Structure 1
Amino acid sequence: MPAHLNLSRFPSFMTACRGVGAGALAAVVLAGCSSVSLDEPPRRPPPMPYPQQVPAPQPVPPQAMPAPVPAPAPPVTREPQLAAFSTRLDGRNEVPPVYSMGTGTLDAVLDRESGLFRFRLTFSNLSGPVTAAHFHGPADVGGNAPPVVTLNGPYNVPYEGRLTLTPAQRADLLAGRWYVNIHTERNPAGELRGQIIERR
């Protein structure tokens, strides 16, 4: 039979083995700890960045183009040699006044240089047919004067005409001292009258 070694009989040997075992274990532990830093925590790799989501471009609503600003119209200039006239004919303008349902208008243009006088006369609702028509002057409002120009028939509506005035007649006309008078059988002295005034 094999012999059994009783180590308890050798206490110094057991003590020596225990010392060797403890030292070896300590050496192993220290060897493992020498590769690990006890001061700094273990480093972790930074997280992977995720791509940022870019918002999709929004469609731009169509915008109406501003309408072009029209160029201002050039100012209406009147030729300096022309003078415009107008008047309303009424029975109350007669001297003395007469009662009449009739009305009328006169529009005219005078060329100051040549003396050409163009006019357009209208009338309606008279007491009867026109028997005569004249330009009278010189006379102010409320005054009477003899005819300076006789308007010949037929007296259609509108009645248009032209004539050339003398320098004296132009001066009286431009001074507002002419009037137009329409005569009828019922009112032989005049049924409608209007003072010819320049429009400025």
Structure 2
Amino acid sequence: MRMQSFSPMLSALAVSASLLCASPALADMMKMKATLDGAQQNPPVTTEGKGEATLGFNTDTKQLTWNVMYSGLSGPATAGHIHGPAAKGENADVVVPFKGAPKSPFNGAA
């Protein structure tokens, strides 16, 4: 299971961040959740793999933080990353690669 389901979430994040960053008075921590499952893939796939990611974006410092947990993979994780924004049905480039193949649960910041 590739962790590709962040694209819609990051699209919303990019738009919201650009609007909020225009005024320092609006600096805040944006909180988001992403469901990780085969239905979120493009194209969708059937898999036992599933998980959840909680993300935070500080509009003042521009720091993105994440906590991810997953289970049900058919083998060990080989990689993980967050994709940038894309239109629905489109794939986006990786914008945040995770170091190595993180074991669940894991967290980080960029």
TM-score (norm 2): 0.70
CA distance in 2, matches of 1:95, 1:80: 33
Name the structure 1 match of 2:75: 128
Q: Identical aligned pairs, as a percentage?
A: 33
Runs of 4+ residues deviating >3 angstroms = none
Structure 1 position 92, deviation (Å) = 1.6
Cα RMSD between the aligned structures?
1.6
> Do residues 90 (structure 1) and 76 (structure 2) align?
no
Name the structure 2 match of 1:111: 58
Letter in 1 for 2:31: A
CA distance in 2, matches of 1:96, 1:82: 32
Structure 1 position 80, deviation (Å) = 5.4
Structure 2: state its 5+ residue gaps.
Answer: 1-25
The within-5 A match list for 1:62-81 is: 81=28
Name the structure 2 match of 1:178: none
Structure 1 position 132, deviation (Å) = 1.0
Number of aligned residue pairs: 85
Whose RCO is larger (CA < 8 A, sep 6+)?
2
Structure 1 position 154, deviation (Å) = 4.1
CA distance in 2, matches of 1:141, 1:129: 29
CA distance in 2, matches of 1:103, 1:80: 33
Structure 1: state its 5+ residue gaps.
Answer: 1-78, 164-200
TM-score (norm 1): 0.40
